[in-house]
Amino acid sequence: MRDELYIDGTKVDMGESGVSLEYRSNILTDISKIVSNFSYTIKLPKTKNNLRLIECAHIPSAVSSFPYLPHVGTLLRDGVQIVDGANVVLMSVSDTIEIALSWGNANGFSKIIEFEGNIDDLDYGLDDYIFWRYDISPDEDAPIMNYGFRSTEKHVSYHPVVSAKWLLDRIQSQFGVKFLFPSDKQDILQSLKIPLLKKEDAQKHVDANRVTLTLNGLKKTDGAFRFYQLLFYGLVQSYYIEYYKDGIFTSAFKPKFNDLQLNYSIDCKLVYVGGAYKNGGYLDIVDADTGEIIDQVNACEVIDRGNDNYECHFKKDLSLEPYNKTIYISTTVSKTGDDSVNLVSGSITLEAKVSEVGADIGEYNKYFTVPNLPSIKLIDFIKSIAYMLGVFAIPGDNNDIHFVSFDSVIENKSNAVDWSGRVLINDYGDAARNISYQLNDFTQKNWFRYKEDDNVTENYDSFIAVENRALDYERDAVSLPFSACDTLGGVASIPLYSYNDDGELEYDSGMNPRIVLYDSETRSGVFYPLRWEGLIRQHYASYQEVVRQPKVIKELVLLSAPELAVLDLLKPVYIRQYGSYFAIVKVKTKENNICEVELLKI
C-alpha cells in the first residue's frame, strides 16, 4: 500500500507508516457535533523538502504564516485519488512534522455552529417588514391563533409568523451553505410556522432615522423674562419625528406616533452676558403645548471671557419616555440691563424608537421580521427542525448539507454493497468478530420534549423505547427550545395577552418561543399534529425499529483504494454469512487494505 500526499500542490515526503483514515457516518450524530471524515495526525519526516514546504516554521526566529493558515491536501493510495480538497493544518514540529488532515467539511456550517448570535441577530434590510394592522384578514403570514385578546381590540392583532423554510433560506443565504431536505419534507417545512411574539422596533431602522442638527440660531422673545429659543439647521428626514420649521430653521420636535421613546444628546456653547451668570446658565426642555418644563440642562463648564461675558458649555444625554408631546429647547435670562445670550456653536442628535409596535391608527406599526424572531441559537433552531422531521445532517460538497432520514438508508437496500466476500474469516465461524447491544448514549426510555412552560397544561412529550433492561432507565434525548401549545377553540393557544382587574389589556413580553402548523382550510395555526407522539410515529418509524433492539458488529473487511474512493456511508452493506443488511457507522483503514468497520444491523 503506497500513499502519496500533496499539500498546496507540492508532493511531500512520507514516512514509513501510511495514513490511517477514518470515515464516520453522521446518520446517528447530533447535528451540532457533525464530524468530517478525518485521519489521525500524520507524522512526516523532517526532510529538506518537507521543511521547505512548511517555510522552516520549526525555527523560532522564522517569519512564516504557514502554521496559522489552512492548506489544501490531496491523498492518493496506490495511485488512486481517495481524498481531494482536504483541509491540512500544521499541528507541531518535534522529531517529526505533525499535520492533521480532514475532508468532507462543511465550512459554512461550522460558521453557523460558531455564530455567537441568535436567529434574531441575522442580517436584515430596511424593507424587511410588514405593516401590522388590526383590520387585516388573517392568512398564512398572520394566521388565526388564540393569543388571549378579545376580538374587539384594536391595539393588537394576530401576530405575524414566518415559515421554517423562510428562516432556513435566510440562514443559507447569510452563511453560504445549502440545506437539502428530502422532497417529502418540503411541504411541512413551509407549513411549520414560528410566531413572532415580540413587539420590538428594529435598531437598524432606528439608526437609519437618527438625526443630527447644527445649532444655528437663537430666537429672542421678551416677556416677564427674556427667552431665547434654540434654532437648528440641517437636512432632516425621520420616520419617527416631525420637525417644526421657523423659516429655514428647525424650532421644535413633534412625535409622529403615540408612545415613542426619545433619546437625544445636546452639545452646545452659549455666551451669557450679565454678572448673574458667572456660575452658568441653563437650558429648558419645554412642552410646546403647555409651557411645562420637562427637563433642564445645567452648564457643565463655565469660562469667564471678561466684561461679564460667560461662555457656558452644555453637554448631556437625555431621554423622554413616553415621548408624546412637541418639545423645544430654550434658555432664559433677566430683562435687567443688557443681559443677553449669544451663540457660539452646538448640535443636537435625536434618536426615537417605539417600546412596542402597535396595530391601531396612530401607532407605529412597522413590524420588522428578523428582530422579532425568538432568541434561539441558529444551530438550536436547525436542530429543532431536523429533530421534528426525523432527519440527520450529512456534509456534502460545496458547503451542501444533506438532511436525510433513517428511512433513506433502509429504502436503499436494493443498492446495497455486497461485502460478503470481503469480511476476513475469523475463528468463530458465522459469528461476528465482535457484537454489542448498545448504541451511543441510548437508555430504555429516550425522551423527546418541548420546553417546559407553566402556561401549557397538557403533556405533548413522548419517547423512543429500547428493550434492554441493562441500560439506564431514561434520558432526555431531544429538548426543543420551543414550548408546546394547548388547543383552544380549535386553534393553538399562546396566552400572550391577558386582562387585569381593571379590564386593561396586558402583554407578556417573556413568553417562551412557540412553533405551530399552518392549516390552510381554516387559516389558523394548530399544534396538536406536532405532539411528539405523532412526530415519532410519522418520522421515526424505521429508526424506532432499529434502535429498539440494536445489534452493532465490528469486523475486519478488505477495501481497496478504488473502493474507499467511492465509499458511500448512506448505502447499506450486505453480509451473506449473517443474512443481514447493515448501516455503516465507522470505517478505519489499517495496513494492506484491511479496514476495521463498525456496522449497525438494519
List pLDDT tens digits, range 514-554.
999 999 999 999 999 999 999 999 999 888 888 888 899 99
**Statement: residue 41 has pLDDT above 80:** no
**Statement: residue 373 has pLDDT above 90:** yes
Q: What is the spatial distance between Cα 8 and Cα 24, in angstroms, rounded to a whole number? A: 25
Amino acid 338: pLDDT: 84
Question: Cα-atom radius of gyration of the chain, to the nearest Å?
Answer: 34
138, HSE (Cβ side, Cα atoms, 13 Å): 18
Average pLDDT of 118-136?
93
Average pLDDT of 377-387?
94
> 19 falls in which pLDDT band (50, 70, 90)?
confident
Identity of residue 235:
L
Q: pLDDT tens across 293-314, in order?
A: 999 999 999 999 999 999 999 9
Count Cβ atoms within 10 A of the Cβ of residue 483 and give its class: 0-12 exposed, 13-18 middle, 19 or more buried. buried
Set of cell numbers at residue 64: 512564516
Q: What is the spatial distance between Cα 602 and Cα 336, in angstroms, rounded to a whole number? A: 99
> 433 falls in which pLDDT band (50, 70, 90)?
confident
Amino acid 33: pLDDT: 57
H helical segments located in 130-264: 164-175, 186-191, 203-208
Q: pTM of this prediction?
A: 0.84
In angstroms, the Cα distances linking 508 to 197, 457, 525, 591 are 9, 18, 20, 64
Amino acid 77: pLDDT: 85
Q: pLDDT tens across 160-193, in order?
A: 999 999 999 999 999 988 999 999 999 999 999 9
